[in-house]
Chains A and B, each alone.
Chain A
Amino acid sequence: MSKSILALCRQAPYGNALAREGLEAVLAAAAMDQTPAVLFCGDGVFQLVQQSPEGIGEKNLRRNIQALPMFGVETLHICRASLQQRGIDPVAIELPGAEIQLVENTTAFIDGFDHVLSF
């Protein structure tokens, strides 16, 4: 009765708590053996670039991202258009233990899942 689940990460890392809470939900689901696929799109792609949020008193969200492969989320899907619109070079995104997969057609990709949890 298991369902395929996609977590959609749409928020920039520190503007909205949903960025952190979304990743926490992904890790919790993965810990329960219901590992969702993850797609970063819109401002959510900013979660993937290097950050130094100490200046605003925030914990670095990259730690949660880095934990994803350890929890079984081994492929990070990223919307290519979102990267291009924000001037982010895909080559600059690297995560030890994770495979980066750029998604051209996000509509078709999202359509392939039973459920979408958008964060």
Chain B
Amino acid sequence: MKFTLVVYGAPHASEGAASALRFARALLEAGHSLYRVFFYGDGVHNGSALAAPPQDEQDLLGQWQRLQQAHNLDLVVCIAAAQRRGLLSESEASRLEKSAANLATGFTLAGLGQLAEAAAVCERVVTFGG
């Protein structure tokens, strides 16, 4: 079955962020396909390259990145929600004349249309956090 996950939970703040990651891993292990993960609202912080949790805590960013690489996942961060919260790619940072970019490797910025499109083509849309 084809899934899309929508993540509203910020990492290390909402259990929703970690649950989404575990759910993604579980559905892939069960042989389903993960069409897209759409990070929205506070969930955009999952795509921050600057997260530096203590070493004895789970590294959510690294886990998303490894899962992304292993399965060529489409990890999409909503661009409008990201701009509000200070999550920028190199090109957005330069366009908005900000001093730094922090979008992590493996994540892409895109518009809300990606959520609507994913809902149209997937059998399941599952929301985490919020």
Q: How far is the CA of A24 from the CA of B125 in the complex (A)?
A: 18
Tally chain A residues at the interface, Cβ within 8 Å.
20
- Which A1-50 residues have C-beta < 8 A from chain B? 1-3, 5, 16-18, 21, 24-25, 28-29, 31-32, 34
For the A-B complex, the count of residue pairs with Cβ-Cβ distances under 8 Å equals: 57
Known: A17-B41, A118-B130. A25 touches B121 (CB 8 A): no
Q: Take A24-B80, A28-B112 as given contacts and tell me if A34 and B41 are in contact as well, using a CB distance cutoff of 8 Å.
A: no
A93 in the interface, Cβ–Cβ < 8 Å?
A: no
Interface residues in B81-130 by Cβ distance below 8 A to A read: 81, 84, 111-113, 115-117, 119-122, 125, 127, 130
Q: Which of A16, A31, A117 contacts B119 (CB 8 A)?
A: A117
Ranked nearest first, the 5 interchain pairs of A and B with the lowest CB-CB distance are A28-B112, A29-B116, A115-B125, A34-B116, A32-B116
Given contacts A25-B112, A34-B116, A34-B120, 8 further A-B contacts (CB under 8 A): A2-B120, A5-B116, A21-B40, A21-B81, A24-B80, A28-B113, A29-B119, A117-B125
Could you give 30 example pairs across A and B, Cβ below 8 Å?
A1-B120, A3-B120, A16-B130, A17-B41, A17-B42, A17-B81, A18-B41, A21-B41, A21-B81, A24-B112, A25-B40, A25-B112, A25-B116, A28-B112, A29-B112, A29-B116, A29-B119, A31-B113, A32-B116, A34-B120, A115-B119, A115-B122, A115-B125, A116-B125, A117-B6, A117-B115, A117-B119, A118-B127, A118-B130, A119-B130
